[in-house]
Amino acid sequence: MTLEETTKKVLILASEKHGAIGKKIKFKFPEGVIVLDDTQVSTIVNNEDSTDIDCVIRISLENFTKLMTREINAMGAYMTGKIKIDGDMSVAMKLSSLF
């Protein structure tokens, strides 16, 4: 999946489960970023890099796609170094409610 396709998929998932995270998360890929702001009345998902974030998740786009399709699980990916987390770890743990 491209960054644009992945952004659309995240928007769909986030809209279906609005309020499940209640924080701001940045997914940082080599190809760019996806910012998910679940603090608003309607969840905002875009590709604008922001510094006002609760948690940054660094992952390859390929592994992120596998995470969304449940080919890999977040804990296993974290333990093997496929995901790196900066910021509030409890926010990252809420991602299972989204994917």
> What pLDDT tens digit does each residue of the chain (99 aa) get?
899 999 999 999 888 887 788 899 999 999 999 999 999 888 999 999 988 999 999 999 999 999 989 899 888 899 999 999 999 988 888 877 777
Residue 63, pLDDT score: 95
CATH placement of domain 3-97: 3.30.1050.10
What local confidence, expressed as pLDDT, does residue 5 receive? 96
Residue type present at position 30? P
What is d(CA 42, CA 55) in angstroms, rounded to the nearest whole number? 19
- Where along the chain do its domains lie? 3-97
pTM exceeds cut of 0.95 = no
E-assigned strand segments in 23-91: 24-29, 32-37, 44-46, 55-59, 83-87
